[in-house]
Structure formats: C-alpha cells, structure tokens
Amino acid sequence: MTTARPFSLDLEATSYSYVERANHVLVKLVGEYLDRAARAPLVLDVGCGCGGNARAIRERSPDAKLHGIEPNARAAELAREVCDVVHHGTTETWVKKHEAQSYDVVVLADVLEHIADPVAFLRQLAADPAVRDAHWVISVPNYAVWYNRIRTLFGIFEYTWSGLYDRTHLRFYTRHSVQRLLTECGFEIIEDRCSPSLVQSAAPLLRRFFEKEVSEGNHLALGESSAYRVYEKTIEPLERAACQVWPELLGFQIVTVAKLAKGGA
C-alpha cells in the first residue's frame, strides 16, 4: 500500500522535519532575566534548532551574545545565521570543547522530552562551571493539555512529525513532573508560565500549508508568514492570558525558570 507521505516513525525519511517559530512566553522570560545582567549578557541555547527562539531573543535583546548547541547539521547551519556561535554536536561534545565563559541564561526549549535519561543529562550539563550561576529557562510540552485528555479518553494516540506527539519524544511531562525532575537534579524553581494551546491544537492541520517550504529546507516558513504575524499580534496575547488561568489544563508548553541550588547537581 502506498501513502502520500512517509510513516511518521520512519526516522530516515527526512533529516529534519520541524516547522519552527518562536515561543514568545519563553522569549519574554529570557529577556526579563537578561535585563538583569550587568554586562552584555550571554545565552546558551541548548538544542537551538534552526534558531527560531534565538531570532526572537536577538530582536528582544540585541546586545546579547547567543551560543547554540544543535546536533542536526541542517538546523545548525540555519541557526548560525542568527547565533554568534553554534556547536554542531551534543552537550557531551560541547562540554569538552567550549571556552571558559559564564552564561547568564541557559535555554532548554523542548529538549528534555527527547532525552532518554534526563536526570543524567541535566546533572552533566549543570556540573559545567560555565552554567552554574545561570538562570535556566526550560520548556516542555504539557502532556496533560486539554486536547490530549480528550484524545486519551477516546483511546487515540499516534505519533506525528512534530508537536505533542512528536515521533522523537521519549519522555512526557506535566507541570508537576517537570518540576519534580528539576528539583531532583538540584534546581530551585523560581517561576513558571505556559504557552497557549488553543490554536496549537490544530497544528497538524496547519502544518500541511507549509509542507512544500519544509521539504525545500525553509523550516522557519510558519513564523515568517503574514498570517502568523497577524495571529501573534492579535490573537496569541489573548490566548496566553486565558491559558494562565489553568496552566495544567490549558497550557501547551510549561515554561519553567530554575536556578541551581547551592550544592545542586
């Protein structure tokens, strides 16, 4: 039987399948903590992808220096258009090669759900002196979001190319469980917020309008579209406000700010 597109769990079908855009809740939090820096702030964007968040951080904080870590070669190439430095590889290879510096903010945007052993991952990264005094801004998809509760009730689960059911997700989190993970790894939780889920729930359908651009290597097509620009200026702020009322149910991503406790990691 032939299909219109490859099976989602066929990881060899495409090298990079994401349609990226900035997480404005995360970017706002990053900007708030960068504003506190006494010098030109330094950001480490772990798993920076094509630089969707980095571009928004650059626009929000033009004086910041942005360093990225990205294992996918194509994504790292695109991220270099906005980041000052991009390490093509993993955090393990970055730890061995990076120059001694002190980062103000560490960004982990939708990374932990891809990690088989998140405790070891966080402890290893946090042990590096360059990040020990940083504020960590961490986002994870919220498995308890309303539309997943409905799908689970009806016994529906199928991996997709991106989003909550991303074919490469190995771990699933709620607001409580991600805080428990960070606490167990030696972090203190400072605050958290959530990104909106109402329009996001239609992401699998909306993605179809950008399949051609993604196949041609333009993974930022959604964020650059005029329709999305209208949405982020007019509708998304209302969504963000509504979702804060009940983040465990209405939030698509839980965005947590944490800092290593004394003696942590």
Q: Which residue has the higher pLDDT, 42 or 21?
A: 42
The fraction of the chain above a pLDDT of 70, given in percent, is: 83
Q: With cut-offs at 50, 70 and 90, classify the pLDDT of residue 108.
A: very high
Residue in this structure with the two tokens 């790894």, named with its chain if needed: 185
Q: Which residue has the higher pLDDT, 243 or 29?
A: 29
Could you tell me the pTM of the whole model?
0.86
DSSP-derived 3-state class of residue 256: strand
Per-residue pLDDT for 1 more than 50? no
Residue in this structure with the two tokens 């490859």, named with its chain if needed: 6
C-alpha 125/C-alpha 90 separation (Å) is: 11
User: In this structure, what DSSP letter does residue 262 have?
Assistant: T
Q: In what order do the strands lie in the sheet with 187-196?
A: 85-88, 65-70, 42-46, 105-109, 135-141, 251-260, 187-196
C-alpha 27/C-alpha 60 separation (Å) is: 8
Q: What does pLDDT average to over the chain?
A: 87
Q: What is the pLDDT of residue 15?
A: 63
CATH of domain 24-260: 3.40.50.150
The fraction of the chain above a pLDDT of 90, given in percent, is: 61
Q: What is the pLDDT of residue 208?
A: 58
Q: With cut-offs at 50, 70 and 90, classify the pLDDT of residue 205.
A: low
CB-facing half-sphere around the CA of 67: CA atoms within 13 A: 20
Q: What is the pLDDT of residue 2?
A: 44
Those residues with Cβ within 8 angstroms of residue 88's Cβ, 6 or more apart along the chain or in another chain:
70, 71, 73, 76
Helices 24-34 and 236-243, interaxial angle, to 10°? 80
